Amino acid sequence: MRLIGIGRRRFRPAHAGRIAFLALALGLLGLSVGCSSSGSETASADGTVTVVTTTNIITDLAEVIGGDRVEVKGLMGPGVDPHLYRASAGDVSLLRDADLILYGGLELEGKMGDLLEELGRARPVTAVTGDIPESELLEPTGAGGRFDPHVWFSAPLWKFAARTAADALGEVDPESAPDFLARSEAYQAELDELDSYIRGRVTEIPNRSRVLITSHDAFQYFGDAYGMQVEAIQGISTATEATTADIDRISDVIAERKLAAVYVESSVPRQTIEAVIAAAKSKGQNSMIGGELFSDSAGEKDTPEGTYIGAARHNIDTITEGLK
């Protein structure tokens, strides 16, 4: 299927009926190209830039890069699965009034793709993954040519997102562009420190145990960047269904590698992981849930895990302590 590119965004063509429905819904909310604000203007009375984000990982990114020049409104809180998320009428209203919309892209927000495309006809809409070279993206087997959207599990790749966010903010607020750039560069230095921290902790895990078992296939960038084998029950989207064969396959890996721990995810129900543990036990390996990892969202706001860096540090600490 041909990809349509608009700026830093990539969309797959939607069905005509769905596009027509979205156009009608947006029209009823007063959104039209003719009445939209230009990319160089800010709509807020106090002069700040209103940024609407999808996942709370992107919310954190916008707040870090934007500083006090932005007001960030996130659609998805902790524990929300972006693969299955559907925008409410209130969400559409927030998106309509945004000076800038930042989203993940690569079909992370699977059920919002048509809406984001339609909104992009009237206002700045940027995928934070849009500047990552395709050579750096992973294309999972059986994904039908789609790229894995979970790029934030590699700290070096998240540096691209920081640059993209700064550029997008600079386009809607040119006077503050130098400040956005400076904050982006400072944040990228923090991401370099995070990258070194993760690499150091992975070395504490014995080679035989460097296998991460999770609910859905969100951690391949982590495994690729940090030298761990990643095995997941479901595919890259939680919209896929786990099968008995999937559970049997993963339990074989647990038994063969004698893994002491497997992991649940904050945005995915734990039933399938519990089924895998039971299957592994029947094969002679007693494994336990080693903790909860943040996958498609960060933790609660105003906690260390509520930031991208805090969630990433929590993840590697939890993985290391369970497997070493």
Q: Taking the CB of residue 269, how many other CB atoms lie within 10 A of it? A: 12
Which domains does the chain possess? Answer: 4-175 (3.40.50.1980), 200-323 (3.40.50.1980)
Q: What is the pTM of this model?
A: 0.85
**Residues near 38 by Cβ (< 8 Å), separated by ≥ 6?**
none
Using CA atoms, how far apart are residues 167 and 180, in angstroms rounded to an integer? 8
Question: Given this model, what pLDDT does residue 10 score?
Answer: 38
Hunting for tokens 């209130």 — which residue is that?
Answer: 90
Positive or negative, the CA dihedral 299, 318, 218, 250 is negative
Query: At residue 184, what is the residue type?
Result: S
Exposure letters 229-247 (e unless 16+ CB within 10 A, then b): ebbbbbbbbbeeebeeebb
Contact 323, 261 (CB under 8 A): yes
**Residues near 31 by Cβ (< 8 Å), separated by ≥ 6?**
96, 119, 122
Between the CA of residue 156 and those of 100, 137, 184, 188, 225, what are the distances in Å? 24, 12, 13, 8, 8
Using CA atoms, how far apart are residues 287 and 167, in angstroms rounded to an integer? 46
Between the CA of residue 36 and those of 11, 27, 123, 127, 322, what are the distances in Å? 21, 12, 6, 20, 51
Question: Given this model, what pLDDT does residue 237 score?
Answer: 63
How does pLDDT run along the chain (324 residues), one tens digit per residue?
223 333 344 333 334 444 444 444 445 444 443 344 444 445 455 689 999 999 999 999 999 999 999 999 999 999 999 999 999 999 999 999 999 999 999 999 989 999 999 999 999 999 999 999 999 999 987 778 899 999 999 999 999 999 999 999 999 999 999 999 999 999 999 999 999 999 999 999 999 999 999 887 899 999 999 999 999 887 766 656 778 898 999 999 999 999 999 998 887 778 888 999 999 999 999 999 999 999 999 999 999 999 999 999 999 999 999 999
Query: Could you give the count of Cα atoms lying within 13 Å of 12 in the half-sphere of its Cβ?
Result: 13
Question: Given this model, what pLDDT does residue 45 score?
Answer: 55
Using CA atoms, how far apart are residues 85 and 58, in angstroms rounded to an integer? 15
Hunting for tokens 């500083």 — which residue is that?
Answer: 67
H helices within the chain, ranges in order?
16-28, 56-66, 89-96, 113-119, 155-172, 177-202, 220-226, 244-257, 271-282, 308-323
Question: Given this model, what pLDDT does residue 47 score?
Answer: 80
| 73 three-class SS | strand
